[in-house]
Structure 1
Amino acid sequence: MAKSTKPAAKKSAVKAPPAKAASNKIAKTQIIDMVADKTSLNKKQAGEAVAAMLSSVVGALQGGQSVGLPGLGTLSVTQTAARTGVRPGTSQKITIPAGKKIRFKVASTLKGTL
């Protein structure tokens, strides 16, 4: 038997990343695929439609409007009052300034089917 002239490859000590656990979250690309499957749009057009819809929702919320999504629920912007809180670890009292939050109210039709 002839010996190989190539040096033996060293085994890498780097471990492969752990396999990702199944997630319950649906990514934007998956939504685009679903829209493309359910319509006559190709993936590029479906991506543009999803992006336009999300942009419209964000724009309306930034303008202080509520957004109703039939069968899903309503997104709205609510004001929060300034309040006193406690800093974790130090128990120091801090003032949390007033701000805005996005509120989501689930549609009764969806709530009944969950």
Structure 2
Amino acid sequence: MARASKPAAKKPAAKAAPKRTSGASSKIAKTQIIDLVADRTSLNKKQAGDAVATMLDAIVSALKGGQTVGLPGLGTLSVAQTAARTGVRPGTSERITIPAGKKVRFKVASTLKGTL
């Protein structure tokens, strides 16, 4: 007679520890910022979303207009001109000219820098 085997006892699934990564790979999304604003103010999520979107639009518009944007306790955003320069195309080692352009610079506020 064949013996019926006992079913193996199931082990409780081990919960994976949350991944802790350093620096740039762990970021807060816009929706999370909206949730934080809604939680810390008397605004609902729609109003908080509108407020965050309006603030971001104002920052982008100011930067496009060449203005500097100061965010107290965080830092300063500004637009800087970059000069034309010679570069090397990866893979082919061909010399190329990179045209002049603009980039956004960020200078961290000393208060934030001191607390990091």
TM-score in terms of structure 2 length: 0.79
How many pairs does the alignment contain? 95
Q: Which residue of 2 aligns with 1:70?
A: 72
Provide the residue aligned with 2:100 in structure 1: 98
Deviations along 1:61-112, one digit per CA (max 9) or x if unpaired, are 0000000000000000000000000001111000000000000000000000
Alignment map for 1:22-61 (pairs within 5 Å): 24-61=26-63
Percentage identity across paired residues of the two chains: 82
- Please name the residue that 1:3 is paired with: none
Structure-2 residue corresponding to 1:82: 84
SS state at 1:25 partner: coil
3-state DSSP class of the match of 1:77?
strand
For structure 1, the residue ranges without an aligned partner over 5 or more in a row are 1-20
3-state DSSP class of the match of 1:40? coil
Q: List runs of 5+ in structure 2 lacking aligned partners.
A: 1-18
Pairwise CA RMSD: 1.4
* Alpha-carbon distance in structure 1 between the residues aligned to 2:82 and 2:51: 33
Partner of 2:12: none
Deviation of 1:24 after TM superposition, in Å, equals 1.4
- Aligned position for 1:11: none
Query: Structure 1: how far apart are the matches of 2:43 and 2:26?
Result: 26
Runs of 4+ residues over 4 Å off in structure 1: none
Aligned to 2:110: 108
